Amino acid sequence: MSARLARPRRNRVLAGVCAGIAERFGLTPWTVRVIFLLSCLLPGPQFLLYLALWVLLPQEP
């Protein structure tokens, strides 16, 4: 498990948020992407959270 949460330069589709979360918790990026898409079917601010993480998460060196 990675020590910090960051947007990786590889395995990105849009901004690397899902890939960064997957890397941090030891999952595959596609698993996190599917979970995110399924969560968008529920009411809540999932898309706003994704945008906030895009802005706030540092990019991997």
Question: Is 47 contained in some domain?
Answer: yes
Q: Quick count: other Cβ atoms within 10 Å of Cβ 26?
A: 8
Taking CB atoms within 8 Å and a gap of at least 24, the contacts of 21-28 are 25/1, 26/1
pLDDT-derived band at 3, boundaries 50, 70, 90: low
Question: Is 8 contained in some domain?
Answer: no
Question: Is 27 contained in some domain?
Answer: yes
The one-character DSSP state at 40 is: T
Q: Residue 13: its pLDDT value, please? A: 85
Question: Is 40 contained in some domain?
Answer: yes
Question: Is 32 contained in some domain?
Answer: yes
The residue with greater pLDDT, 1 or 56, is 56
Using one digit for the tens of pLDDT, what is the confidence trace for 6-57? 888 887 888 989 999 999 999 999 999 999 999 999 998 998 999 999 999 8
Q: Residue 59 contacts by C-beta under 8 Å, 6 or more apart in sequence?
A: 6, 7, 9, 16
Q: Report the domain count for the chain.
A: 1
Range of the domain at 30: 15-54
